Amino acid sequence: MKRKSTAIVAALAAVALGAAACGSDSDSGGASTGGAKDGNYKLAFVQGVAGDAFYITMECGIKEEAAKEGATVTTQGAQKFDPTLQTPILQSVIASKPDAILIAPTDVSAMQQPIAQAKAQGIKIVLVDTTLNDPSVAVSAISSDNTAGGKAAFEAIQKLAPNGGKVLGVGVQPGISTTDARDKGFEEAAKADPKFTYLGVQYSQNDPAKAASIVSAALQKDPDIVGIFASNLFSAQGSATGIRQAGKQGKVNVVGFDAGPEQIKALQDGTVQALIAQQPGDIGVQGVQQAIKALKGESNEAKIQTGSTIITKDTIDSPEGKAAAYKASC
Amino acid sequence: MSTTTSAPPASTEDAPTSRLSRISRLQALQILILLVVTVAVFTALRPDTFLTGFNIRGIVQNTAIYAVLGVGMTFVIITGGIDLSVGSVLVFSGVVADKIMVAYGGQGWGTVFVGLAAALASGLAWGLLNGILVAKAKVPPLVVTLGSLSAALGFAQIITKGLDLRDAPQTLVNDIGFGNIVGQVPTIAVVSAVVVIFGIVLLHRTRFGLYTYAVGSNAEAGRRAGVKVERHLIKVYAFAGLLAGFAGLLNLGFFQSTTIGGQSNTPLNVIAGVAIGGTSLFGGIGSVFGTVIGLFIPIVLQNGFIQTGVQPFWQQVVVGAVLVAVVYVDQLRRAAAVRGTPTRLPFLSRAGSTSRKGSA
């Protein structure tokens, strides 16, 4: 009976390997995207993380623009912003043979090979929001000007705390091109102003609970922190919680990046004093435009940078403030 | 397979045991049928994309690292233990291997072998520590490995200051992580298959495997029969650690990153695969083959759901339901087997009918 299971396994392994080997031959031509067809393109959007207002707003922009072009869109995202979770999702999306993939890579190096595989299958790639070490696999990379966004965050703190003091960065994790650039922009601006002491950046791994514990611990060590720059959605949520835990509401200015419903509420409540809103909808719209251009064989813009808006309590109810806020659903 | 007919009929004394082991094989077969049905359904829904070479290749690649961990986990769970530390040990070994490969320099095979040695040594060290604490200090395995889960990840973060390392040599990434051994057969899958076959032989063909079952079935009986239970437990945990270390190197090749933040669910995913595959969490029963099939199911489901446009969160719900249902059915059958009543599995009854004579 032992022999039996061993034999079954051996047979199975042979079948699996055989299938993998010969199956690929018939497929090695890749998904020919048929140059002549106009419209009816199949687009796929791979989010950095599912259920995040930033990516939902981007999805809204993508769907709107795709509808105009007569293209269909499917959206997929992992439950955490992590390359180990995004890789199998991307692989499945590639296997479903879309004409183009819009993707927010979760790691500058780890996603390089999986995305290169998509290109090898004849799929057009557009990088939205985040990018790669070598973005040349994509026809276009569209993102916010994140360094400028980081500088804007420091300018917001300068206005909120004109006397200067200690400032802290709460980042996501190193290796994400966008948040790295934001942190860098913030750091450069903070170091350029002698009135401020830059305490460095701590990483929350995109976990609000970890951001909260970082901020409450930092406030124990340096109770005189005047400003915190939380470089993404979850870091900002956690930072606000951390400040509440330490009982420092009103004494520490938090500048968040992004303007999801929770941030807008935090801004209204006064736990966050300013938000740097990106334009995810615009990124999505331009992403679709670039993808369609590539599919039609037109030339692409390799790099597009979109702007950002500073939202404070004063501008939150203005038409511009409302337009800049992210959506929780389309 | 025809050789199975010559299997000797079970004697009355060990009838329950053989029935149980037969059932665990039945379970693995049943899961295989479930997997085949799942694949068939998705193939029917997406005939042009699901059963393509590219997709099969992707599914196999995504299962490969889990399968390496699953082999070690199967042994540990057969002894009645558990190893929650595999994800952290994987990360720790990847970090150590990465650091040592950078210090050694180069991008070629030499560097990869140095990294391999480092990864295996780090994994083995954690496995030995787990084993000694479980076997000698008699700390429950859940607690020991929960501790090493935390500590190994902590050490990895101390070494790296929490920043993922990304200096995997090109050979590791291009030839092992994403390379093909022949045609479109991914190297990482072949490496993993070798580990799996080694695990199957070790479990079913050697004294080491026999002792593993013995320790899990009845440690005291094993001890009286001359099995050095404590030493064997240490060896089993060390083996699981060694494989986690090996998986760490593969992971480094596949993701080009030490994925410090990305492995928190890994041990649970692997344990779920082991349980779905018919290995009893109470010990004494199980197979490596079942584990591999059990690991494929969540990955195939996720892949299929994405291709059919189902919201991917459903994958977690379905995997959870499959896990509980499979273990429940298994439990029912085992209870029936202990009572001596034949199991009611008409569509499978022939598979195990060679010695189906109830002794009660």
Residues B317 and B295: their CA atoms lie apart, in Å, by 16
pLDDT at A71 over 60: yes
> What pLDDT digit, counting tens, does each position of B230-261 carry?
999 999 999 999 999 999 999 999 988 888 88
Say whether pLDDT at A232 is over 90: no
> Would the pLDDT of B291 be above 80?
yes
Closest alpha carbon to B240 in B260, B270, B265, B217: B270
Task: Kindly list the residues from chain B whose CB atom is less than 8 angstroms away from the CB atom of residue A203.
Answer: 162-163
Facing residue for B183 by CB, picked from A21, A89, A92? A21
Q: What is the pLDDT at residue A37?
A: 54
B111 touches chain A (CB under 8 A): no
Alpha carbon separation from B14 to A172, A219, B213, B224 (Å, rounded): 58, 66, 14, 17
Asked if B268 and B319 count as a contact pair (C-beta separation under 8 A), the reply is no
Given this model, what pLDDT does residue B158 score?
92
For residue B28, what is the enclosing H or E element? helix B15-45
Instruction: Please check whether residue B186 touches A, CB under 8 A.
Output: yes
Task: Classify the C-alpha dihedral A83-B301-B67-B54 as positive or negative.
Answer: negative
| Nearest-by-CA chain B residue for A73 | B309
pLDDT for position A244: 85
For residue A125, is pLDDT > 60?
A: yes
Question: What average pLDDT score do residues A174-193 get?
Answer: 89
Q: How far apart are CA B177 and CA B324, in angstroms?
A: 33
Nearest CA in chain A to B57: A20
**Which residue of chain A is at minimal alpha-carbon distance from B194?**
A13
Burial class (CB in 10 A: 0-12, 13-18, 19+), A162: exposed
Q: Name the pairing type of β-strands A72-76 and A42-46.
A: parallel
- Rounded to a whole number, what is the distance in Å from the CA of B208 to chain A's nearest CA? 15
Tokens of B300: 């195939």
How sure is the predictor about B312, in pLDDT bands with cuts at 50, 70 and 90?
Answer: low
- Structure confidence at residue B23 (pLDDT): 60
For A228-259, b/e burial (b = at least 16 CB within 10 A) is bbbbbbbbbbbbbbbbeebeeeeebbbbbbbb
Mean predicted confidence (pLDDT) in A53-63:
94
CB contact under 8 A, A23 and B52: yes
User: In whole angstroms, what is the distance from residue A122 CA to residue A142 CA?
Assistant: 20
Q: Which amino acid is at B97?
A: A
Out of B4, B162, B259, whose CB is closest to A203? B162
Q: What is the CA radius of gyration of chain A?
A: 23
Lowest-confidence region among A107-111, B204-208, B304-308, B331-335: B331-335
**Predicted confidence band of residue B78 (pLDDT cuts 50, 70, 90):** very high
Q: What is the rounded CA–CA span in Å between residue B299 and residue B303?
A: 6
- Other CB atoms within 10 A of residue B105 CB: 11
Specify the pTM: 0.76
Pairwise CA distance, residues B335 & B323, whole Å: 18
Is residue A16 scored above 80 in pLDDT?
no
Cβ–Cβ below 8 Å for A20 and B193: no
**Which one, of A275, A262, A280, lies nearest residue A313 by Cα?**
A275
pLDDT at residue B360 in the model: 35
The CB-side HSE value for A64 (13 A sphere, CA atoms) comes to 15
pLDDT at B181: 86
Mean pLDDT of A3-10: 44
CB contact under 8 A, A5 and B313: no
Confidence at residue B264, expressed as pLDDT on a 0 to 100 scale: 86
b or e along A186-203 (b: 16 or more beta carbons within 10 Å of the residue's beta carbon)? bbebbeeeeebbbbebbb
Closest CA to A236 of A261, A214, A256, A259: A256
Closest CA to A290 of A98, A142, A119: A142
Bridge partners (DSSP) of residue B185 are B182
Is residue A33 within 8 Å of A295, Cβ to Cβ? yes
Amino acid at A194: P
* Per-residue pLDDT, B64: 95
Please report the DSSP string for B170-212 in residue order.
Answer: HHIIIIIIS-EEETTEEHHHHHHHHHHHHHHHHHHHSHHHHHH
Confidence at residue B333, expressed as pLDDT on a 0 to 100 scale: 76
Percent of chain A surpassing pLDDT 90: 55
pLDDT beyond 50 at B347: no
Q: Which residues pair with A74 in a beta bridge?
A: A44
Mean pLDDT of A1-7: 44
Residues in B closer than 8 angstroms to A7, CB to CB, are 1, 3
- Whether residue B54 and residue A79 make contact (CB cut-off 8 A), yes or no, is no
CA pair distance B360, B357, nearest whole angstrom: 9
pLDDT bucket at B342, cuts 50 / 70 / 90: low
CA dihedral sign of residues B60, B66, B71, B74: negative
Complex ipTM tops 0.85: no
CA A179 to chain centre: 9
pLDDT for res A15: 42
Question: Taking a contact as any Cβ pair under 8 Å apart, which residues of chain B between 298 and 337 contact chain A?
Answer: 299, 302-304, 306-307, 309, 312-313
- Residue B21 near chain A (CB below 8 Å): yes
Q: Are B87 and B155 in contact (CB under 8 A)?
A: no
pLDDT at residue B54, as a whole number: 87
Name A78's Cβ contacts closer than 8 Å, sequence gap at least 6.
A47, A49, A50, A85, A86, A89, A106, B312
Is the sign of the CA dihedral A75, A80, A83, A88 positive or negative? negative
CA-based nearest distance B201→chain A, Å: 8
Predicted local distance difference test score (pLDDT) of residue B319 = 85
Output the DSSP codes for B281-292.
Answer: TTSS---HHHHH
Mutate which of B86, B295, B306, B316 to disrupt the A interface (most A C-beta within 10 Å)? B306
Q: Is the pLDDT of residue B164 over 50?
A: yes
| A93 to B306: CB separation less than 8 angstroms, yes or no | yes
Residues B278, B317: Cα–Cα separation, whole Å: 20
Q: Report the range out of A83-87, A141-145, B235-239, B320-324 with the highest average pLDDT.
A: B235-239
Dihedral in degrees, nearest 10, Cα atoms B282, B283, B287, B290 = 10
| % pLDDT > 70, chain A | 88
Q: Is B183 on the interface with A (CB under 8 A)?
A: yes
Q: Within chain A, where are the H helices? A: 2-27, 53-69, 83-95, 112-120, 146-160, 177-192, 208-221, 233-245, 261-269, 280-295, 319-324
| Partner-chain contact A174 B22, CB within 8 Å | no
Most confident of the following: A11-25, A315-329, B282-296: B282-296
Segment among B2-11, B85-94, B179-188 with least mean pLDDT: B2-11
Distance CA A224, CA B249 (A): 44
How does pLDDT run across B168-203, given as a tens digit for each residue?
A: 898 898 888 888 888 888 999 999 999 999 999 999
Using a pLDDT cut of 90, give the percent of chain B over it.
56
Portion of chain B with pLDDT greater than 70, in percent = 87
- Dihedral class, residue B131 (left if φ above 0, else alpha if ψ from -120 to 50, else beta): alpha
**Residue-level pLDDT at A268:** 87
Could you tell me which residue, B213 or A5, shows the higher pLDDT? B213
Partner-chain contact A82 B49, CB within 8 Å = no
Q: What is the mean pLDDT of residues B329-349?
A: 65
DSSP designation for B37: H
Q: Is the pLDDT of residue B292 over 90?
A: yes
Residue-wise pLDDT tens digits, A76-115: 998 888 899 999 999 999 999 999 999 999 988 889 999 9
Return mean pLDDT, chain B: 86
When CB atoms are compared, the residue of A77, A97, A112 closest to B49 is A97
Task: Please provide the DSSP assignment of B80-105 as one string.
Answer: T---TTHHHHHHHHHHHHHHHHHHH-
Query: Least CB-CB distance to A91: which of B28, B62, B197?
Result: B62
Residue among B56, B256, B354 minimizing CB distance to A109: B256
pLDDT tens digits for A273-308?
Answer: 899 999 999 999 999 999 999 999 999 999 999 988
Give pLDDT tens digits for B127-150: 999 999 999 999 999 999 999 999
Q: Are the CB atoms for A102 and A43 separated by under 8 Å?
A: yes
- Mean pLDDT on B307-324: 84
Task: Indicate the helix (H) or strand (E) that contains A312.
Answer: strand A309-312
Please determine, for residue B207, whether its predicted confidence score (pLDDT) is greater than 80.
yes
Chain B contact set for A50 (CB, 8 A): 312-313
Distance from C-alpha of A143 to C-alpha of A137, rounded to nearest angstrom: 16
To probe the interface with A, which of B23, B256, B263, B317 has the most A CB atoms within 10 Å?
A: B256
Which comes out higher in pLDDT, residue B230 or B30? B230
